[in-house]
């Protein structure tokens, strides 16, 4: 259950969502830099920020990149940083809030529903292809953290994607639910299968309660450092709960609907990396990132399946350093620019 402070955060976010005017705005004229936009995903309003390069022209032919947030992330955080920096390199970019997060619509709030998020990405692709000046034959994805898994799954299922890159990627969420039970998620020790099944049971009970009463049970996706759950989660809190680093923005809440845990943990696009064949894949990780194994496995499986894949390591960077620390982010962006210049054939 949530405490009063966390309930208040969600109420504030929901009020912002309800007060945001809706329009599908791809047909509008835009200015260079950041433009607030809205579009539909399965009839739910999605709020995004469209970034246009300084040399943008509606009569041009620009490559475009859809930037996918981490789990529970919003467009004002690391996704916005990468979207802006890539726009500065000459791309049209879009960062957006998934359904039930940030300024987007969707109830219940905080649904970390993997198939639903993939549909949101598909609709973001549909939207960006309608922006004047975008070359619809040059569309890329950039997935951050859990957005990596969602972006790879989308690339396997959507013929409009030409290449996909990831940064600090979590890809195999089944393995995350198992190994993460001790290494990342809750600091417990003991049998991994038993812990995994306990989490699925939480989701099942939460689903039943919602069906019977309409009450949404939440879990805290970013526990504070005081809970002593390990170095990975301390680093997560240092970004997401820290206003000085830009993670603790007004529209962000770390609370996730418990009933969506099962859809998240049974999601693994690395099982069919052969379906990525013909679509170049770049995975960027920090050399000190505890999560690097997920990207390493994805790249290895892609290569074994005959795909074009590359692992690029940023020396000295930890998982969350690649979210906002410009010393490391700029290295990642330079590599991304090189990758997209080649794969989107600028």
**Does residue 187 surpass a pLDDT of 70?**
no
Give pLDDT, residue 230: 84
pLDDT higher at 232 or 204: 204
Please state the rounded mean pLDDT for residues 202-214.
Answer: 96
Retrieve residue 319's tokens: 């998982």
**Does residue 185 surpass a pLDDT of 50?**
no
Percent of the chain with pLDDT over 70: 87
3-state secondary structure of 250: coil
Q: How far apart are CA 300 and CA 147, in angstroms?
A: 19
**Does residue 21 surpass a pLDDT of 50?**
no
Percent of the chain with pLDDT over 90: 74
Q: How far apart are CA 173 and CA 281, in angstroms?
A: 19
Distance in angstroms between the alpha carbons of the first and the last residue of the chain: 50
Instruction: Identify the CA nearest to 38 among candidates 30, 50, 29.
Output: 50
* Residue 176 binned pLDDT confidence (cut-offs 50, 70, 90): low
Asked if 84 contacts 167 with a C-beta cutoff of 8 angstroms, the reply is no
Asked if 45 contacts 104 with a C-beta cutoff of 8 angstroms, the reply is yes
| Average pLDDT along the chain | 89
Q: What is the pTM of this model?
A: 0.89
Give pLDDT, residue 179: 59
List helix spans (H) across 241-310: 261-265, 292-304
Q: How far apart are CA 222 and CA 234, in angstroms?
A: 9
* Residue 265 binned pLDDT confidence (cut-offs 50, 70, 90): confident
H/E stretch holding 314 reads strand 309-314
In the numeric block, the tokens 């049998």 are attached to 191
**Does residue 82 surpass a pLDDT of 90?**
yes
Give pLDDT, residue 189: 47
**Does residue 34 surpass a pLDDT of 90?**
yes
**Does residue 127 surpass a pLDDT of 90?**
yes
**Does residue 23 surpass a pLDDT of 80?**
no
Q: How far apart are CA 147 and CA 171, in angstroms?
A: 8
Give pLDDT, residue 22: 46
What pLDDT digit, counting tens, does each position of 290-340 carry? Answer: 999 999 999 999 999 999 999 999 999 999 999 999 999 999 999 999 999
């Amino acid at each position: 259950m949530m405490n009063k402070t966390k309930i208040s955060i969600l109420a504030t976010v929901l009020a912002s969502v309800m007060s945001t005017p809706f329009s599908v705005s791809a047909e509008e004229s835009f200015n260079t830099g950041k433009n607030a936009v809205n579009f539909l995903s399965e009839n739910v309003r999605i709020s995004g920020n469209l970034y246009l390069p300084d040399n943008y022209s509606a009569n041009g032919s620009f490559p475009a990149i859809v930037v996918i947030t981490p789990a529970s992330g919003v467009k004002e955080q690391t996704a916005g940083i990468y979207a802006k920096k890539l726009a500065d390199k000459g791309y049209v970019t879009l960062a957006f809030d998934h359904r039930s997060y940030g300024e987007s619509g969707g109830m219940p709030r905080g649904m970390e529903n993997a198939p639903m998020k993939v549909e949101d990405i598909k609709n973001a692709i549909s939207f960006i292809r309608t922006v004047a000046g975008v070359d619809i034959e040059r569309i890329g994805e950039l997935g951050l953290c859990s957005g990596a898994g969602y972006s790879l799954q989308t690339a396997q299922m959507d013929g409009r994607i030409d290449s996909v890159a990831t940064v600090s990627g979590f890809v195999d969420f089944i393995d995350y639910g198992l190994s993460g039970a001790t290494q990342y998620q809750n600091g417990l020790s003991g049998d991994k299968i038993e812990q995994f099944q306990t989490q699925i049971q939480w989701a099942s009970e939460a689903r039943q309660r919602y069906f019977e009463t309409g009450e949404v049970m939440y879990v805290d996706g970013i526990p504070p450092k005081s809970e002593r759950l390990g170095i990975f989660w301390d680093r997560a809190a240092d970004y997401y709960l820290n206003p000085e680093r830009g993670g603790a923005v007004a529209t962000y809440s770390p609370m996730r609907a418990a009933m969506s845990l099962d859809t998240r943990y049974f999601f693994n696009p690395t099982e069919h990396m052969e379906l990525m064949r013909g679509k170049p894949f770049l995975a960027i990780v920090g050399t000190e990132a505890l999560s690097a194994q997920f990207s390493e496995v994805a790249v290895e499986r892609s290569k074994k399946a005959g795909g074009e894949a590359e692992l690029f390591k940023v020396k000295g960077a930890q998982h969350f350093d690649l979210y906002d620390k410009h010393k490391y982010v700029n290295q990642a962006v330079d590599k991304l620019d090189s990758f997209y210049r080649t794969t989107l054939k600028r």
